[in-house]
Amino acid sequence: MTVSVVVVMSVDGKLTRHDESDIHKWVSDEDQEFFRPLLASHDVIIMGRNTYEAVQPNLRLDQPIRRIVLTSHPQQFTEQALLDIRKARSSPDLSNSAANGFSSFDVSTDTSSSDKTVFARVNSPLERTILRKSSIKDRLEFRNEKSTDLVKRLKREGIKKVLIVGGPRIISELLKGKLIDFLYLTIEPRLFGQGVLLLDSFPIDIELNLVEHKELNKKGTILLKYSLKQTQ
């Protein structure tokens, strides 16, 4: 299994512009053009809860990608999923959905895991819109699990390619656990002075090998791919 990290940062190493969580306000179109196919080429995407909340409005749950969000409160999100589903069921728009050829919700609770996870299967654009924040089987899961344990479990499950999209806590934990194989780093030609850093503050010295580098546009956005060679 390969584990890759992908981030975009300013020249001074900030993952966010000051306190702003929405990176789409400053990342280049060319970085997004690189990022989308990279996402689609991985079996599982892992992110922290804050990263999920930042990207949630742009999540395309119709794409068959398995996303796992780490949070110490997975139940909060699954309860929200149930509320959304109940609300949707009583909505006149959805009660008419069968007549429009839309399927009904298929809701189940997975009690096999320590954190109960509610899954809802959706098949129509309307349902997808309503369930944007919900857990959707094989698409979106909320888990309270150490990131290193999660990655090792995915390996045992036979998953081939895992992509970590942040944030710093998860990246730092996996680095300490020597579980990262590749780092994709886009550098946007900007200086922010203040913002979220790539890693938590702890002493490490890991040598990287440059595998690939590319100028993504004329204004100077650079894509770097490094291998870490630290996997056990």
CA dihedral 39, 61, 155, 172 (to 10 degrees): 60
The contact mask relative to ligand NAP for 2-31 (x = CB under 6 A, - = no) is -----xxx-----xx----x-x--------
Least distance to ligand NAP, CB of residue 143, Å = 7
- Residue 32 within binding range of ligand NAP, rule CB under 6 A: no
Element (H, E) at 36: helix 29-40
Taking CB positions, which residue lies at the least distance from ligand NAP?
Answer: 48
Determine the angle formed by the axes of helices 147-156 and 168-176, rounding to 10 degrees. Answer: 70
Q: Which residues contact 52 (CB under 8 A, 6 or more apart)?
A: 67, 69, 71
What residues from 93 to 152 belong to the interface with ligand NAP (CB under 6 A)?
Answer: 144, 146-147
The contact mask relative to ligand NAP for 51-70 (x = CB under 6 A, - = no) is x--x---------------x
Buried b (16+ CB within 10 A) or exposed e, 75-112: eebbeebeebbeebeeeeebeebeeeebeebebeeeee
Among 56, 63, 72, 129, which residue interacts with ligand NAP (rule: CB under 6 A)?
Answer: 72
Give the separation between CA 69 and CA 59, rounded to whole angstroms: 12
- Residue 78 within binding range of ligand NAP, rule CB under 6 A: no
- The smaller minimum CB distance to ligand NAP, of residues 126 and 159, is found at 159
What residues from 145 to 164 belong to the interface with ligand NAP (CB under 6 A)?
Answer: 146-147
Among 167, 172, 174, 192, which residue interacts with ligand NAP (rule: CB under 6 A)?
Answer: 167
DSSP for 144-176, please give it.
-S-HHHHHHHHHHTT--EEEE---HHHHHHHHH
Q: Which stretch binds ligand NAP (CB under 6 A): 36-44, 115-123, 165-173, 213-221?
A: 165-173
Give the separation between CA 149 and CA 130, rounded to whole angstroms: 32
Binding residues vs ligand NAP (CB under 6 A): 7-9, 15-16, 21, 23, 47-51, 54, 70-73, 144, 146-147, 165-170, 196
